[in-house]
């Protein structure tokens, strides 16, 4: 119990004194890590969505703006992600922004999380 208390005190101190430009990226990474861990313990569907969204957006950084926008829309909700996976990965519909290798990589990322996304 004492360890948890001191951990919370340290986190609150970091939050309080972390407005400096040098420490801001680390604070943002810490918040993202905490948000991911909280999502994992709470709802596995939301955690899978966050993980998939993070992986898709990291992958799309090397691509064009249209492809990034397409993946951002597709990963905005679980329903949109499942619809994207059904239409473009399973059915093979044509996507004017994502085709070829970028589509295959996107589908592979979605397929790695599909069992968590479709849990009841």
Q: What pLDDT, on a 0 to 100 scale, did the predictor assign at position 18?
A: 65
| C-alpha dihedral, 72 to 77 to 82 to 87, nearest 10° | -40
Q: What pLDDT, on a 0 to 100 scale, did the predictor assign at position 77?
A: 84
Q: How many CB atoms lie within 10 A of CB 72?
A: 13
Helix extents (H) in the chain:
2-16, 24-42, 44-60, 65-74, 78-84, 101-117
CA nearest neighbour of 81 among 59, 40, 48: 48
Q: What pLDDT, on a 0 to 100 scale, did the predictor assign at position 89?
A: 86
User: pTM surpassing 0.75?
Assistant: no
- For 95, the token pair is 């996507």
CA nearest neighbour of 106 among 45, 60, 46: 60
Q: What is the pLDDT along the chain (120 residues), one digit of tens a residue?
A: 788 888 888 888 777 776 667 667 777 787 777 776 665 555 677 777 788 888 888 888 888 888 888 888 888 888 888 888 888 888 888 887 778 888 888 888 888 888 877 776
Q: What pLDDT, on a 0 to 100 scale, did the predictor assign at position 95?
A: 80
Q: What pLDDT, on a 0 to 100 scale, did the predictor assign at position 28?
A: 77
CA nearest neighbour of 78 among 48, 36, 108: 48
């Amino acid at each position: 119990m004492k360890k948890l208390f001191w951990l919370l005190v340290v986190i609150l101190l970091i939050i309080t004194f972390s407005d400096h430009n040098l420490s801001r990226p680390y604070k943002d990474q810490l918040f993202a890590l905490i948000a991911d861990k909280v999502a994992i313990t709470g709802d596995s569907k939301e955690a899978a969505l966050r993980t998939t969204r993070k992986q898709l957006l990291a992958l799309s950084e090397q691509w064009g703006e249209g492809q990034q926008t397409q993946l951002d829309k597709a990963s905005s909700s679980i329903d949109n992600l499942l619809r994207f996976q059904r239409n473009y990965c399973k059915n093979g519909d044509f996507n004017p922004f994502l085709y070829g290798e970028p589509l295959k990589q996107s589908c592979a990322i979605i397929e790695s999380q599909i069992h968590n996304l479709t849990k009841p």
